[in-house]
Structure 1
Amino acid sequence: MKKVFCIILLLFSTNSFAQHFTTNDKNIKVQFGGQNKTEGSNIIYQKQAPAQNIPSPIKEGSAGQKIYQLSDEQLLLSQKIKEKPEIKTDCDRGNEVCLISNVFKDRIVVELENRTFATRTIKIKTYFQNVKSLTSIGNNYELTLASKERKLIDTIIQVDPTLSYGYKYDYTSYMGKKDAVHDDSYIYDLPFEYGKSYKLLQSYGGKFSHSGPENYYSYDFRMNTGTPVTAARDGRVIIVKENFTQGGPHKAYEFRANRIYVEHSDGTIGIYTHLAKNGAIVKVGDYVQKGQHIGYSGNTGFSDIPHLHFNVSKIIREQNFRSLPIKIRTSNGIERQLKVGVYYGK
């Protein structure tokens, strides 16, 4: 589901950022324009040009010092900094993505954290008044966060300490890696047990329900309710829905299918639908192997006969899926497209 969240952190403050910060660690050196500069236990902020991204250590001294190259108001970012920031955390309503502000005396370091097991694509809009971004993420910025990933996205400083300042971040978040590139060399398994064979009811472009881009490259296998379903490819379980009880060939059931989504290493998603009620034996966050038993087939959702619907898809924009053609291994060899009416086994 699309997530929309707005955060206003500090607006129209009259306080100024301090122009330096203090560390008691004598083993840190900062390099300004090729010259090391320290002053007692303080490391002094200086303005240089041109602007670059947030600095990282360029080398380590013989005594274990971390040496940084700073430019254009960039500040030392190191775990050795003794100043502890005030931390402000604001999450969306689903607690799926959180924006974390680390408020130091002389800067605010902003991070985003993906708290889900699925890759998420995030769009950010920024609004600044008398504040400058050291990372230059721009007014419209998009990034992808992997499962449980936390990433620094911005560091901001006050431009004129004598004037009020304000800033705001708006963002939208949705599941999936936008524009994921499918590994076309990958050979998928049939999504059921070895030694079994099942009739294909519907293939690519099937008239009953495979006409749109979301389902065009899909397979429907005739299976009785309770038939074991297996993973066609390794991946992380990111969605499990198993509370629906009914199905039928009516639009009212279109979004009422029990299902399991598995995210693959290339960012695509394996989709297994029409499962039985309580028909999942895996949970969100589980990593499954190809051929592993993950659930039981059923007849929930938009379905006129018990069967398993399977496809591989990618996100193209904000929760819009596009199914993809795949190669699949059968007992007769590798197939690029299975044919309706044929029994396939592995």
Structure 2
Amino acid sequence: MRGQHLLVLVLLLLSTSAAAKKLYKYQDERGLWHFTDKPPVTDRAVEVRQLKPAAKQWVRLEKSGDDSQPDFYAINQYPGPVEIEVDWEAHDNVIAMPELPRRFVVPPGETSALFSVAGVGQATSWSFTLQYRYVIGQPLPDYAGAVPYLPPLASGGRFQVTQAFGGEFSHQDEQNRYAVDIMMPVGTPVHAARAGLVLEVEDDHFKSGTQQAYANKANSIRILHDDGSMAVYAHLELEKAQVRPGLQVEAGELIGYSGNTGFTTGPHLHFAVQVNRGMQLVSVPFEFTHADGHTLPPRFGEWLEGFKP
């Protein structure tokens, strides 16, 4: 019997996005109802409903070659690197070369073969299933950043910090411990705090609340910096992102508008700097630069002011 394979995807982070979808409903002059996913050409009243976006898989493990000794490679559709960990879910009379479990750093695009699988010795029957997980960003186990960040505001904007590092409401986990929440109305311009490459844009979520179900429903932008760290701008307004994955942005450039999407009690911008440490995203401390040149970590209750870099 030839080797069998089954790939089981396990994700560590929000890693799907898709084009926004709307449903248009209207009644024609004969009284018939019409439903379409494209804006209709009509002078009749049109009801528009926002639909949940279909998920897209950004990183895949694929098989190639002869079934008697298949090779496995990865496809990474992010414009930056990811780290992928592959392991057996189950295996019988089979080996991997190199041995599993193993982690691979995968650049954008399609890799060459990462590993191959074959039956042990003269075994006539062998089978296996694989599982894998990935984290966006290259591994940075010893990262200690020292680059200051601009307040992510338009020049002249002035807004208050309502939750800083270690905030009791939602800044207790590894991804958000060193995050800052800045209270601002929906539609406030958000600017890049540091230059980098846009890795990921979530632009299609439209609901919010304090239930855990909303934890992964925030519109956000993730930007990769030249030292491998990544800035996350979250709770952004629906369909108002001004950037796309693969675009280079400069510090101070407009990237989107604040909103009230995802796990939130009200409109604000959530900002954090994260790195991939041990196959998980963790936030790291950072400091904001102020107009007079001094740098400080964000503090609860302070007012941040935007300025031209």
The verdict on a shared fold, with TM-score over 0.5 as the criterion, is: yes
Q: How many residues align?
A: 252
Aligned to 2:272: 311
- The answer to whether 1:340 aligns with 2:300 is yes
1:276 paired residue among 232, 237, 240: 237
User: Residue deviations 1:115-174, cap 9 Å, x none?
Assistant: 33343222223658587x6xx5113211111222513323678887x8747575724032
Task: Please say if residues 59 and 74 of structure 2, whose CA atoms lie closer than 8 Å, have aligned partners that are also in contact.
Answer: no
Structure 2 distance, partners of 1:245, 1:124, is 34
Q: 1:128 to 1:139 in 2, by over 3 A?
A: farther
Paired AA for residue 276 in structure 1: E
Aligned to 1:238: 199
- The answer to whether 1:298 aligns with 2:259 is yes
Q: Could you say what secondary structure the match of 2:112 adopts?
A: strand
- The answer to whether 1:113 aligns with 2:78 is no
Report 1:7-86 matches (<5 A). none
Q: 1:171 to 1:248 in 2, by over 3 A?
A: closer
Displacement of 1:196 in angstroms is 2.6
User: Residue deviations 1:304-346, cap 9 Å, x none?
Assistant: 332211001123455x432110132121334241222222223
**Larger gyration radius, structure 1 or structure 2:** 1
User: Residue deviations 1:10-44, cap 9 Å, x none?
Assistant: xxxxxxxxxxxxxxxxxxxxxxxxxxxxxxxxxxx
Displacement of 1:228 in angstroms is 0.9
Structure 2 distance, partners of 1:203, 1:104, is 54
- The answer to whether 1:124 aligns with 2:72 is no
Paired AA for residue 284 in structure 2: L
Structure 1 distance, partners of 2:115, 2:278, is 24
- The answer to whether 1:97 aligns with 2:57 is no
- The answer to whether 1:287 aligns with 2:248 is yes
Aligned to 2:26: none
Displacement of 1:221 in angstroms is 1.5
Paired AA for residue 330 in structure 1: H
Paired AA for residue 99 in structure 1: E
Q: Could you say what secondary structure the match of 1:174 adopts?
A: strand
- Cα RMSD, aligned residues only: 3.4
Q: Could you say what secondary structure the match of 1:123 adopts?
A: strand
Paired AA for residue 59 in structure 2: E
Q: Structure 1 length normalisation: TM-score?
A: 0.61
Task: Please say if residues 94 and 117 of structure 2, whose CA atoms lie closer than 8 Å, have aligned partners that are also in contact.
Answer: no
2:179 paired residue among 218, 239, 263: 218
- The answer to whether 1:174 aligns with 2:137 is no
Paired AA for residue 242 in structure 1: D
Paired AA for residue 261 in structure 1: R
Displacement of 1:253 in angstroms is 3.6
Structure 1 distance, partners of 2:216, 2:72, is 37
Q: Percent identity?
A: 26
Task: Please say if residues 235 and 261 of structure 2, whose CA atoms lie closer than 8 Å, have aligned partners that are also in contact.
Answer: yes
Structure 1 distance, partners of 2:77, 2:204, is 24
After the TM superposition, which segments of 4 or more aligned residues of structure 1 sit over 6 Å from their partners? 156-160
Aligned to 1:329: 289
Displacement of 1:296 in angstroms is 0.2
Paired AA for residue 87 in structure 2: K
Task: Please say if residues 233 and 291 of structure 1, whose CA atoms lie closer than 8 Å, have aligned partners that are also in contact.
Answer: yes
Task: Please say if residues 216 and 263 of structure 2, whose CA atoms lie closer than 8 Å, have aligned partners that are also in contact.
Answer: yes
In structure 2, stretches of 5+ residues that fail to align are 8-55
Structure 2 distance, partners of 1:174, 1:212, is 19
Task: Please say if residues 189 and 328 of structure 1, whose CA atoms lie closer than 8 Å, have aligned partners that are also in contact.
Answer: yes
Q: Could you say what secondary structure the match of 1:189 adopts?
A: coil
Q: Structure 2 length normalisation: TM-score?
A: 0.68
Task: Please say if residues 118 and 175 of structure 1, whose CA atoms lie closer than 8 Å, have aligned partners that are also in contact.
Answer: no
Indicate the structure with greater strand content: 1
Q: 1:221 to 1:104 in 2, by over 3 A?
A: closer
In structure 1, stretches of 5+ residues that fail to align are 8-92
Structure 1 distance, partners of 2:153, 2:100, is 48
Displacement of 1:104 in angstroms is 11
